[in-house]
Structure 1
Amino acid sequence: MATATAKKVCVTGAGGFVASWLVKLLLSKGYIVHGTVRKPGDEKYAHLMKFEGASEKLKLFNADLLSYESIYSAIVGCSAVFHVACPVEMVEPAVKGTSNVLEASLQAKVERVVYVSSSTAIILNPNLPNDKVIDESYWSDKEYCRKTKEWYPFSKMKAEELALDFAERTGIDLVRICPTVVLGPILQSTSLNATSLFLLNLLKGCEPVENKLKWIIDVRDLADALLLAYEKIEAEGRYICTSCPAKPKDLVEELKSEYPNYNYPTKFIEVDYYIRLSSEKLQRLGWSYRPLKETLIDSVESYKEAGLL
């Protein structure tokens, strides 16, 4: 793939939790970044222009994922597209937005599209084997998601299926990354994502807490994975991006060891759920991840700095 020198790349949903860290990383590597946002002048995107190199190498585009023309204007001239944005309106916008990004990428002749899916497109299936490590070949069950009204996984699965079908039909170079629960330090506090709120609520003692196993990934390690997925020529197909499993009660104990004075929850609802995941395929590209404790400490310090604790 392209070297960073003066190469343009596009990041959709550039103001989001994951995308902000990706933009920061790309700028630090010398890339020129086109970021799509809904309202470039909005205060919630101000942090992006404070990144080192942003004044010279970051351009924000007022782009609606449901408008092909606006997406194309952000993508044209770019070597790669990182499709990180996920419309909050859920199913149809997620699918239509993905379709527009892929079509624009094809017309703009980008080298590769790196698509952010989700582990929820893999693991929501009552028939998954308990005695095996779940790898990239598995898929969630659409009917199960529909019956249980799990609309976020349903939308991610439909959008990823569309992306896969599009790539098979057109030959566009597509790499898909499926992250698990994304934690880590925040770069802006005007609109917190759901996983940051989850961790913040543990620190504030919100209870009861469903003590269900979660597989964690640090947002900075995910950004590294996304860049690897573009830069490594051999990257192909689908990659699970995760580090380690932990239950909320485990997270509380880990947090307590460093921050004993917060009002942690004491009521936990036990859930009989276990799944084994692996990022072995991603690690073969040269990817690695940091310890959970580092993720938790850096998260808490960022919440404190933002005045959230």
Structure 2
Amino acid sequence: MEGAGAAGRTRTAVGVTGAGGFVASWLVERLLASGRYVVHGTVRDPGDAKNAHLAAMDGAADRLRLFRADLLDYGSVAAAIAGCDGVFHVASPVPSTYPVGDPEATHLSSPFPLLPSFFPRLSHASVQSLLLQVELLAPAVKGTMNVLKACSEAKVKRVVVVSSVSAVMVNPGWPQDEVMDEACWSDVEFCRTTQNWYCLSKTLAELEAFDYAKRTGLDVVSVCPSLVIGPLLQSTVNASSSIIVDCLKGDHEVKLKLRNFVDVRDVADALLLVYETPEASGRYICDANARQVSDVIALLKNWHPAYNHATKFVQVSDEPLFSSKKLKALGWKFRTFEETLRDSVESFTAAGVLD
């Protein structure tokens, strides 16, 4: 799957959906830094200031082209993917109040404030449930299908789909004392019954991707990261980073539990690795470090005693443990949790997030 390497040789074009996002920005940076690729990035508005960091990257002037695209608009997706040898499907809807990989999250700030007036007999919880389905399920599943169909039309050689351990971890039938690996899938009906719409959206999208690959012969590989943290390239705080920010600012209630973390830079490296390794196939869990949130807060207090830090806590169930053995077998390496956490906080400070 690898493109030509040396300057002066033909470079391979690759697409990155949602190029301005947390993970995708680091992926674009890695692709440009390699010198091997021309990048077609999809964003909602190429002229938006929140995408300025992409244009400022080394190599962007010559080798980054941003396309205005909406994943639900097939024509715009197809235009961006045309001419690409490979595609990284990174974009996925994540409401800011519904953090990545957090099955306990229940609160959503409504983007449709008048909806309750149209359905006055619906409870608040029912309205929230409806909103989450509208905001998550259709964009995740239909958006993924639009990307895959466009990839088939463009004769793309490999598609790397960014999924999540959320598509792995919600499985009550998995033995409790057994580490979860790629064979474990979140139970679709259990997610639906418990109204766990984020996990359901990630699971359905990934299942649909592999089903499409089986039916069409398209080469699809997925990567399932745990909670992604690390330094920001984009100007806004994404959902997963906000979990660390909340530990430092003390504005919100913090869930105390065992969490699984991975550095955003290591996720970007993993995506490039599975793309460039011909024998890569199927799913790859991308998880690096499991830590109790209480230990994370203790570290932050020790390093940065001047911050307010979290004061409101609720104890919830621990996350399961995951195995990244399959990804490591390809040569994937990851940073220590301490390095990731330090770099995260330095990034938040520089961006003024903690002011």
Name the amino acid aligned to 1:217.
V
Correspondence 1:13 to 2:18: yes
State the 1:237 CA deviation. Answer: 0.4
Alpha-carbon displacement from aligned partner over 1:174-195 (angstroms, at most 9, x marks no partner): 1100011000011122x32111
Task: Give the AA of the match of 2:292.
Answer: K
Structure 1's consecutive aligned runs of 4 or more residues displaced over 3 angstroms after TM superposition are none
Q: Would the aligned equivalents of 2:246 and 2:254 in 1 still touch at CA under 8 Å?
A: no
Question: Residue 160 of structure 1: which of 206, 217, 228 is its match?
Answer: 206
**1:9 counterpart letter in structure 2:** V
1:39 paired residue number: 45
Say what the alpha-carbon RMSD is for the aligned residues: 1.2
User: Matches of 2:269 and 2:340 in 1, distance apart?
Assistant: 15
State the distance in 2 between where 1:185 and 1:136 align.
Answer: 27
Secondary structure class of the residue paired with 2:339: helix
Q: Are positions 1:225 and 2:277 aligned together?
A: no
Q: State the alpha-carbon separation in 1 of the partners of residues 65 and 53 from structure 2.
A: 13
Report the count of equivalent residues.
308
Counterpart of 1:64? 70
Confirm or deny: 8 A CA contact 1:221 1:288 kept in the other structure: yes
Q: Which residue of 2 aligns with 1:80?
A: 86
> Identical aligned pairs, as a percentage?
55
Which of structures 1 and 2 has the bigger CA Rg? 2
Determine the C-alpha separation between the residues in 2 that align with 1:48 and 1:112.
24
| Paired amino acid for 2:195 | K
Question: Is the alpha carbon distance of 1:4 and 1:90 closer, same or farther for their aligned partners in structure 2, counting shifts above 3 Å?
Answer: farther
| Aligned equivalent of 1:269 | 314
Contact 2:21 2:234 in 1 (8 A): no
Counterpart mapping for 1:89-100 below 5 A: 89-100=135-146
Cα drift, residue 267 of structure 1: 4.2
* One-letter code aligned to 1:105: C
> What displacement does 1:208 show?
3.6
Q: Which amino acid aligns with 1:132?
A: E
Partner Cα distance (2:217, 2:329) in 1: 24
Query: How do 1:45-194 residues align onto structure 2 when only pairs under 5 Å count?
Result: 45-88=51-94, 89-189=135-235, 191-194=236-239
Contact kept in structure 2, 1:212 and 1:270, CA below 8 Å: yes
Q: Deviations over 1:194-248 (max 9, x none)?
A: 1111111110023542212110000000000000010011110000000011121
Q: Name the stretch that deviates more: 281-290 or 242-251.
A: 242-251
State how far apart, in whole Å, the 1-side matches of 2:348 and 2:183 are: 37
Cα shift at 1:270: 2.4
Contact 1:34 1:75 in 2 (8 A): yes
Partners in 2 of 1:75 and 1:307 — Cα distance?
Answer: 35
TM-score (norm 1): 0.97
Amino acid at match of 1:65: L
TM-score, L = length of structure 2:
0.84
- Do 1:4 and 1:29's aligned partners in 2 also have CA atoms closer than 8 Å? no
Q: Distance in 1 between matches of 2:229 and 2:297?
A: 14
For residues 211-250 of structure 1, what are the structure 2 equivalents within 5 Å? Answer: 211-250=256-295
Return the alpha-carbon distance in structure 2 between the equivalents of residues 272 and 24 of structure 1: 36
Deviations 1:101-128 (A, max 9, x none): 0011011111100000110011012222
Question: Contact conserved, 1:94 with 1:159, CA < 8 A, in 2?
Answer: yes
